[in-house]
Chain A
Amino acid sequence: MGPYPPDADRMVMHIEFVALVKQVPRTGEVEVDPETGNLVREGVAAQTNPYDLHALEAALALRDRLGGTVTALSMGPPQAEDTLREAFWMGADRGILLSDAAFAGADTLATAYTLARALRDIPHDLVLAGMQTTDGDTAQVGPGVAEFLHIAHASYVLRIEEADRREVCAVVDAGDRVQRVALALPALLTVTREVNQPRLPSFRRRLATRDRPIETWCREDLAPPEGEEAYFGLEGSPTWVEEIFPPPGNPERETWRGRPGELTDRLLAQLEEWKYL
C-alpha cells in the first residue's frame, strides 16, 4: 500500500480524531410476542449503534480530507470487539476496547467517567459520538465525557461545516432553532443521522486489517487517581433500576371489523365527529 491517505504528501495537518462507538442489541428487530408480551429476540444479536456509524464516518471523512488518525473507542464486554473490527473495515486506524468486570453495570455517569479516563491517554483533538444509543436512548454519555475532560461539546450536530487544527464549525439542532457554532479544539460533537451517510465496510480494508490488533484496556490501565477508585461500573453509578414493568395496557381500544366500505363510513363519521373534516 502507498501512503495513506493517498495525497498524504500534500497534508499539512495532523488531527487526532476519536470516535466513540457502542455495541447494542438489534433493537430494530425486536418484536413483541402477542401471546406472552415478551420481547422476541434472535439470541444476543448485536450491532454497532447506528448513530455511532455516523460519528465514525464524520471522523473518517475529516481525516481523509485534512489528515490525521481515527481511533475507535468502545466500552463493553469482550464481544464488543466486533464493533471495533467493523470500525477497522470502515477505515479506522486504531481500536481500543475498555473491558473489565469492574466496568459492568455502569450508568451514564460511570460510563462517561470511564471513557474520559481512557481519553486522557489517547491523543484527541476532535471526539465524535452518536447523538444517543438505540438501547439506552439517553444522549447523556457524550456531553458527560466532555465535562469530565473540561472540553467544549455540541450535541445534535446536523452538519459539520469546517475544521482545522484549532477549531471546528458545526450546525446544531437547538429545538425550535438551529445554531451555527465554532468550538475550539479539543472538542466533542454528538451527531445526528443527518450529518452524513456512513460508508460501507470494505472487503479490501477487511483483508488489510485482518491482523491489526484491538487493544483491550482494563481498569488498571486507566489508573484512577486517589479518590476516584470507585467511579467505575455499578459502584460508580448513582442511578439504579428499582423496577421494570410492561407499559400500561390499552383498555380503550375499539376494534372495528367489516367490509372496507363500512370501515370507510365509520372512519369518515369519526373524523367528522372530531371536527377534522
Chain B
Amino acid sequence: MSVLRVAYENCDGCGACVAVCPFDGVVLEEGVPRFGAGCRVCGLCIDACPRGALGLPGEEDAGDVADLSRYRGVMVVSERAADGLDPVTLELMGEGRRLADALGEALSVVVAGADVDAEARECLVHGADRVLVLDHPSLAHFRPEPYTDALEGAVRHALPSIVLMAGTPVGRSLAPRLAVRLRTGLTADCTSLEVNERGELLQTRPAFGGDIMATILSGNHRPQMATVRPRVMPRAGRLPVTGTLERLPFRPDPEYPGRVLEVREKPAADTVADADVVVAAGRGIRRAEDLDMLHRLADALGGVVGCSRPLVEAGWLPSTQQVGLSGRTVRPKLYIACGISGAIQHVAGMRGSERIIAINPDENAPIFDVAHHALVGDAYEIIPALLDRIEERGDARAV
C-alpha cells in the first residue's frame, strides 16, 4: 500500500526522501521509493524531492468559501470544577480573546450545566463579548451525549469560526463527539494557536511522540475545533463588563443512554499532575529503596515524587506517579529530574515545567536539552549531601 503518490517517470532514485524522513517511513527498493508502515503522510519528503516526483494521493477541493464566511468569532466552551468555573476556562478565554482580537471578531463563551449563573457571570467579568447559557437539570453532571446536543445547539446558534475546548478528560471526551456531529476537523491538545490572514486557525501541538511540533489546519471546514492543553496559555484577566448574556433553549432527549450514578472527589493519590514541585526518578535510580532519598527531598520542598516509565514497569511506583506521554502531563513550578535520561516519551510530559533541574552523569543525556539547570553529576552523591545540608540548616534554625 503506497501512501504517497510517486511519479516514477520523474524519480531518479536520489534518496532525498529517505534522508529527510524522520520516521523511516520510506526506503529505496530497486532504485525507487517505497512507503511503509512508518509513513505518517507528513509531507516532508514531498518538499525535499528535488524533482517534484512525490505528491499526496488526490488533492482536496478548496471548500465552499462563501459558506465558510458565515462563520465568525471565537467560541470557548467553559468547564466547571467542583467549586465553580474551572481555571482552564480562563486560559481558553485568554487565548480566545487574543485570537478574536486578531480576527477583529467577537469572543463567545458557552456555559452548560445546572444552576450556572455564577459561572456565567465569571465569564462576563473576564472579557466575554457573549455568554451563551445552557441551564438545565439534565446537564447537572457531565455526560457526553446531552452535552453534545447542547453544544451543537450553541454552535448552530452562534456559528463561530473557531471553537476552543479544554484538553482535559471532560473536554477530550466531548470535543470528538461534537466534531463528528458537526463533521468538522478537531486538533487535540494544542500548545500554540494563531490565525492567518485567511482566518484559518494554525493549531500547533507536539506530535509523533512529542519530539516534533506539528502545525495543523482544518481551514476548509467550520467551525475549526481544537482542544487546548491546560496550564499552557495565560489566563484572561478581569475587565469591565461589556458583554451580553443569552439563555439558549435546551430540550433534552427523554432517553439518553447514560446516567451518572455518583460523583466523587478524586482520590488524593493522583497528585503528581497538580503538585508545584515534582522530584522525578528515572532509570538512574538503581533500587526501590533508593527512592527514599527522593521522597525526603520532595517532602523538604513541599512536592511529590514522580517517575519515568521504567520505574512503574518495575512496580516501584504506581502508574499515577508516571510522568510522560503514557502517564501524566505535568507543569509544576519546579521539576527536578534525577537519573532520568530524557526519552521523548518522558520529556513530552514535563517539558512545560517552569523550572527544570536535571541531574545526570551523562553530559549528552537528552534531558539536558530541556533542562534550565543541567547538573552533570551523580544523584547518588548530590541528593544525600543536599539532604544533609538541609537538615543542618533546620538544626541551625531550631537552635
Chain A residues at the B interface, C-beta cutoff of 8 Å: 23, 25, 27-28, 30-32, 34, 38-39, 41, 43-44, 46, 50-51, 76-80, 99-101, 104-105, 107-109, 112-113, 134-144, 146-148, 151-156, 169, 172-184, 187, 193-194, 233-235, 237-247, 249-250, 252-258, 260-261, 263-265, 267-268, 270-271, 274, 276-277
Across the interface, name the chain A residue whose C-beta is closest to B255.
A184
Cβ contact within 8 Å between B1 and A177: no
- The answer to whether A137 and B188 touch (CB under 8 A), given A146-B177, A256-B373, is yes
> Could you tell me how many residues of chain B have their Cβ less than 8 Å away from some Cβ of chain A?
112
Q: Which residues of B contact A100 (CB under 8 A)?
A: 1
Across the interface, name the chain A residue whose C-beta is closest to B174.
A143
Cβ contact within 8 Å between B366 and A147: no
Cβ contact within 8 Å between B1 and A77: yes
**Roughly how many angstroms separate A253 CA and B342 CA in the complex, as a whole number?**
15
Q: Which residues of A contact B351 (CB under 8 A)?
A: 247
* Stretch in contact with the other chain, from B70-78, B137-145, B235-243: B137-145
B147-197 contacts to A (CB < 8 Å) = 148, 168-170, 172-177, 179-181, 183-189
Q: Which residues of A contact B291 (CB under 8 A)?
A: none
Q: Which residues of B contact A142 (CB under 8 A)?
A: 176
Cβ contact within 8 Å between A250 and B370: yes
Cβ contact within 8 Å between A46 and B181: no
**Roughly how many angstroms separate A240 CA and B214 CA in the complex, as a whole number?**
10
Cβ contact within 8 Å between B180 and A176: no
Q: Which residues of B contact A109 (CB under 8 A)?
A: 179-180, 183-186
**Roughly how many angstroms separate A80 CA and B213 CA in the complex, as a whole number?**
26
Q: Which residues of A contact B287 (CB under 8 A)?
A: none
**Which 5 A-B pairs rank lowest in CB-CB distance, beginning with the nearest?**
A238-B185, A155-B173, A260-B381, A138-B188, A140-B176
* Stretch in contact with the other chain, from B102-110, B115-123, B201-209: B201-209
B13-52 CB mask vs A (1 if < 8 Å, else 0) is 0000000001111000000000011100111100000000
- The answer to whether A43 and B180 touch (CB under 8 A), given A27-B345, A276-B334, A277-B393, is no
- The answer to whether A107 and B185 touch (CB under 8 A), given A152-B145, A244-B213, A260-B381, is yes
Cβ contact within 8 Å between A177 and B263: yes
Cβ contact within 8 Å between B334 and A240: no
Cβ contact within 8 Å between B189 and A177: no
Across the interface, name the chain B residue whose C-beta is closest to A104.
B3
Cβ contact within 8 Å between A254 and B177: no
Cβ contact within 8 Å between B180 and A242: no
The reply to whether the CB of B234 lies closer than 8 angstroms to some CB of chain A is: no
- The answer to whether A143 and B144 touch (CB under 8 A), given A148-B180, A240-B216, A246-B213, is yes
Listed residue (B23, B173, B375) with the most chain A CB atoms within 10 angstroms of its CB: B173
- The answer to whether A173 and B188 touch (CB under 8 A), given A147-B148, A240-B60, is no
Q: Which of A32, A99, A156, A264 is the one whose CB lies under 8 Å from B389? A: A264
Q: Which of B141, B174, B258 is the one whose CB lies under 8 Å from A184? A: B258
Q: Which residues of A contact B393 (CB under 8 A)?
A: 277
The contact sample of 27 A-B pairs, CB cut-off 8 A, is: A25-B23, A39-B22, A77-B37, A80-B37, A101-B2, A109-B179, A109-B186, A134-B209, A136-B188, A144-B179, A147-B180, A152-B257, A174-B142, A176-B81, A177-B82, A178-B263, A179-B262, A179-B264, A193-B319, A234-B60, A240-B60, A246-B212, A253-B373, A254-B373, A255-B376, A256-B373, A277-B390
